[in-house]
């Protein structure tokens, strides 16, 4: 009985671990499909403009921009998940231990500065920023570039989707701000279950709401991490007034995103080697990295 319960617990734990990724994937592709429908079928608003050459080019440009952002979101997310930020396979004791090194009793090893143990990943992570619940993995030294690029394209994609869904809000509110229209925007699920709206109206309202809420949440995360990036800090360090690892704007960009920081955000396949090793870090005002 104990063995069966243990197996069920492990299965449920694995399911919960992958559930956020599945839900995020479903939402991203649902929003993409809905915006594609708006571009191909609903826009432009004027009927006489729908068959013009301008309308065809307008749709092509929108679809290319849309799937460029979708491709970057998916590819950055995949590389983020496949790039381990942990100390596994990393030789830590090359040149001795110095200031900032600690001993992790869980991993039973000494860890370098800015490294800490994650109890969700069950391992120490180099230059650990935080554990991302939406991906089920830690953000660290080796996968930070993919995390930030994914946030960038999620932010731009949700901004684009929110603007494209302005038509949906216009249609819902075209007869004025009524109780029905407000409830449809705030609680579309209840309106659908109670039979007050059609499935089509529910789908448009739900995705439009998701775009707005998602844009606000991603904006908060994205600009917070930009703030940290410019200051040369991690999420674990942001509350401190000291910034010993800040190397100036260009230095911080280079150490976080790699030597091609000005290009790597365009495509995750552009190589951008990181100048450090995640173990030794250059301190402000010093040419030698900390050990």
Residues with Cβ < 8 Å from 89, sequence gap 6 or more?
none
Catalytic residue among 115, 118, 124, 132: 132
Is 132 one of the annotated active-site residues of the chain?
Answer: yes
User: What is the total residue count of the chain?
Assistant: 291
Return phi, psi of residue 109, to 5°: -155, 160
Spatial distance between the Cα atoms of 108 and 77, rounded to a whole number of angstroms: 31
Structure-token pair, residue 129: 């920023």
Where do the H-state alpha helices sit in the chain? 2-37, 53-82, 144-164, 166-172, 179-186, 188-193, 199-231, 248-257
Whether residue 66 contacts residue 36, with contact meaning beta carbons closer than 8 Å, is answered with yes
For the annotated catalytic residues, the residue numbers are: 132
């Amino acid at each position: 009985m104990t063995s069966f319960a243990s197996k069920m617990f492990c299965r449920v734990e694995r399911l919960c671990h992958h559930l956020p990724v599945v839900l995020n994937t479903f939402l991203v592709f649902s929003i993409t499909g809905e915006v594609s429908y708006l571009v191909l079928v609903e826009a432009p608003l004027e009927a006489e403009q729908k068959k013009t050459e301008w309308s065809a080019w307008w749709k092509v440009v929108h679809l290319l921009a849309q799937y460029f952002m979708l491709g970057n979101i998916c590819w950055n997310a995949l590389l983020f998940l496949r790039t381990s930020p942990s100390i596994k396979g990393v030789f830590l004791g090359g040149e001795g231990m110095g200031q900032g090194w600690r001993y992790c009793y869980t991993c039973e090893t000494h860890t370098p500065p800015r490294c800490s143990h994650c109890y969700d990943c069950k391992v120490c992570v180099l230059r650990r920023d935080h554990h991302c619940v939406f991906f089920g993995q830690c953000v660290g030294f080796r996968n930070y570039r993919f995390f930030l690029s994914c946030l960038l394209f999620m932010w731009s994609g949700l901004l684009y989707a929110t603007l494209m869904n302005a038509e949906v809000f216009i249609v819902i509110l075209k007869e004025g701000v009524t109780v029905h229209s407000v409830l449809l925007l705030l609680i579309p699920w209840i309106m659908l279950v109670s039979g007050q709206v059609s499935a089509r109206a529910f789908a448009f309202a739900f995705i439009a709401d998701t775009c707005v809420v998602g844009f606000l949440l991603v904006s908060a995360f994205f600009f917070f991490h930009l703030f940290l990036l410019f200051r040369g800090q991690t999420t674990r360090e942001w509350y401190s007034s000291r910034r010993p690892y800040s190397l100036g704007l260009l230095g911080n960009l280079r150490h976080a995103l790699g030597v091609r920081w000005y290009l790597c955000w365009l495509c995750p396949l552009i190589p951008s080697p990181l100048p450090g090793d995640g173990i030794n870090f250059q301190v402000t005002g010093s040419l030698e990295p900390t050990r």
